């Protein structure tokens, strides 16, 4: 039996698949990865199904060791510092771990989240159709909680052939500083026209109040035109809720199922991962976007993930083109 033994884990390191769907009406949120694109890329590089369970790693980092038979793993997301047995690796790569070898991730130049996938996927029991951790309900993942030292993460059998080692190269992992697209509504009429113009013309910063549930924004306060209480309604991923204080909050993977404050708009899903990679203190700007443009952007991401040039083999740059940091596998 192969697996990864957790040696050290920062706060909030969890197991996530693509999410838990169909239970929002019962108050059970979707969860899933904060950066769904990076999560999908790590799985795709190994030939895993896109919904395979992987480790979500926050800025606290993680240190794991391979136990049993060798494992192929892939990591992608923010520009974290990755090392295998103390040797520096690219920020996104596929590597082979032999028994006893250690893989370490630490916060790097940018990004708040990175993902570690294992060929075959992490073997934890599905709960309500998903292996994603929802710590507030203590369900999914590893015993419904964040990872701790000495946890052993077992691995499902891989369905595809070993991919070989190499750096993962795809434009989808490049996250240029650009305005995050927002579709107005459903309660944009609860805000003054000045407030809406302010939101799209002024910079905001990510507050230190941030977690998987949502990121509070620091910047100009937004004035309500018709009060700030509504009949509670459903919350979508990326919804921008504005309570009575006028300070907006962007609701993310572990968002609540309903809310009673008006929502100025919703992030375009194509941009959710890039937004989630922002760290406290980092500036963010928003751009107005209609639903059709948001849909087109999302379809563009799906095409980039599935198009033949972004196939698993093409995601891997030839070994030794990264200064020998990742070496070819011996025959």
What are the 10-residue block averages of pLDDT along the chain, 331 residues in total? 92 96 91 97 92 96 96 96 96 96 96 97 96 95 97 90 85 89 95 97 96 97 89 93 96 94 96 96 97 96 69 44 33 26
Q: Which residues contact 8 (CB under 8 A, 6 or more apart)?
A: 61, 62, 63, 149
Residue 136, CA distances (Å) to 1, 5, 22, 116, 124 in order: 31, 24, 18, 23, 18
| pLDDT of amino acid 226 | 77
Per-domain residue ranges of the chain: 3-169, 180-305
Assign a CATH topology to domain 180-305.
Cyclophilin (2.40.100)
* List of E strands, 129-246: 152-154, 166-167, 180-184, 204-210, 214-218, 233-234, 239-241
d(CA 141, CA 16) in angstroms, rounded, equals: 7
Instruction: State the pLDDT at residue 228.
Output: 86
Report whether the peptide linkage leading into residue 186 is cis, meaning its omega lies within 30 degrees of zero. Answer: yes
- Cβ contact 289:181 at 8 Å: yes
């Amino acid at each position: 039996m192969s697996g990864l033994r957790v040696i050290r884990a920062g706060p909030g390191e969890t197991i996530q698949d693509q999410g838990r769907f169909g239970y929002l009406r019962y108050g059970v949120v979707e969860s899933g990865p904060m950066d769904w694109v990076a999560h999908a890329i790590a799985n795709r590089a190994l030939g895993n199904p896109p919904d395979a369970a992987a480790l979500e790693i926050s800025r606290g980092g993680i240190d794991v060791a391979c136990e049993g038979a060798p494992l192929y793993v892939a990591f992608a997301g923010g520009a974290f510092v990755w090392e295998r047995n103390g040797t520096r690796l690219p920020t996104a790569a596929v590597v082979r771990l032999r028994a006893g070898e250690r893989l370490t991730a630490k916060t790097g130049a940018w990004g708040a989240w990175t993902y570690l996938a294992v060929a075959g996927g992490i073997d934890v029991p599905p709960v309500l159709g998903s292996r994603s951790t929802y710590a507030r309900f203590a369900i999914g993942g590893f015993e419904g909680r964040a990872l701790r030292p000495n946890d052993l993460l077992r691995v499902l059998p891989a369905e595809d052939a070993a991919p070989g080692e190499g750096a993962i190269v795809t434009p989808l992992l490049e996250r240029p500083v650009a305005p995050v697209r927002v579709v107005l509504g459903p309660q944009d009429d609860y805000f003054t026209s000045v407030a809406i113009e302010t939101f799209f013309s002024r910079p905001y910063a990510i507050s230190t109040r941030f977690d998987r549930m949502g990121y509070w924004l620091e910047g100009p306060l937004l004035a309500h035109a018709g009060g700030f209480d509504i009949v509670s309604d459903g919350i979508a991923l990326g919804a921008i809720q504005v309570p009575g204080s006028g300070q907006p909050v962007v609701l993310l993977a572990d968002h609540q199922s309903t809310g009673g404050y008006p929502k100025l708009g919703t992030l375009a899903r194509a941009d959710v991962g890039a937004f989630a990679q922002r760290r406290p203190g980092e500036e963010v700007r928003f751009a107005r976007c209609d639903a059709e443009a948001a849909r087109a952007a999302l379809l563009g991401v799906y095409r980039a993930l599935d198009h033949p040039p972004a196939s698993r083999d093409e995601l891997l740059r030839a070994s030794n083109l990264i200064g020998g940091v990742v070496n070819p596998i011996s025959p």
